[in-house]
Amino acid sequence: MLILGIDPGTHTGIASYINGKLMNLATVAPIDIAECIEATRPARVVFEDSRLESYTWTSIKSRPAALKMARNVGEVDAWCKLIVAICAKLDIPAHGISPKGKGAKVDAARFAEITGWSGASNEHTRDAAMVAWPYRGASNV
């Protein structure tokens, strides 16, 4: 059983769990999200869903920087909608997890301890893996 974890963003992280074991990490462009889902036809997709946060925490002081952040969050929100639509079209169960619900970011060493992954990773692939971690072996989540 394949569970796909996705961290949507400019550099979208993809994590593949097969029968509960982390098997692959990849970083793709947002335009490739649909292709990844269609090609793998996972049993479930779990993604980090920025729409589930009512407030974006930032310490940005300048208005231009705050507006840029708002635009970036809006882009991620749109990619989340895309993931839901693709999964609905393919009849694949999918659900989002809030960034807060996913938990804090983990560095490569801690990620290896948690998952047993010994290959390369980056913050996007680690986020994708961690968002799906609690669901990696679930068949009826």
pLDDT digits (tens, 9 = 90+) for 102-133: 888 999 999 999 999 999 999 999 999 999 99
Q: For residues 73-78, give the mean pLDDT.
A: 70
Tell me, yes or no, whether 59 lies in a domain: no
* Cα separation values, 53 from 18, 88, 99, 105, Å: 29, 22, 7, 16
Query: Per-residue pLDDT for 88 more than 90?
Result: yes
Tell me, yes or no, whether 79 lies in a domain: no
Which burial class, exposed, middle or buried, applies to 96 when counting CB atoms under 10 A from its CB (0-12, 13-18, 19+)? buried
Domain span holding position 35? 1-54+93-141
Over residues 45-56, the pLDDT tens digits come to 999 998 887 665
Tell me, yes or no, whether 86 lies in a domain: no
Query: Per-residue pLDDT for 23 more than 90?
Result: yes
| Structural domain total, the chain | 1
CATH code where residue 134 lies: 3.30.420.10
Distance CA 72, CA 4 (A): 23
Dihedral sign (CA 26, 30, 36, 41)? positive
Tell me, yes or no, whether 68 lies in a domain: no
Q: By C-alpha distance, which of 92, 127, 100, 88 is closest to 9? A: 127
pTM, 2 dp: 0.86
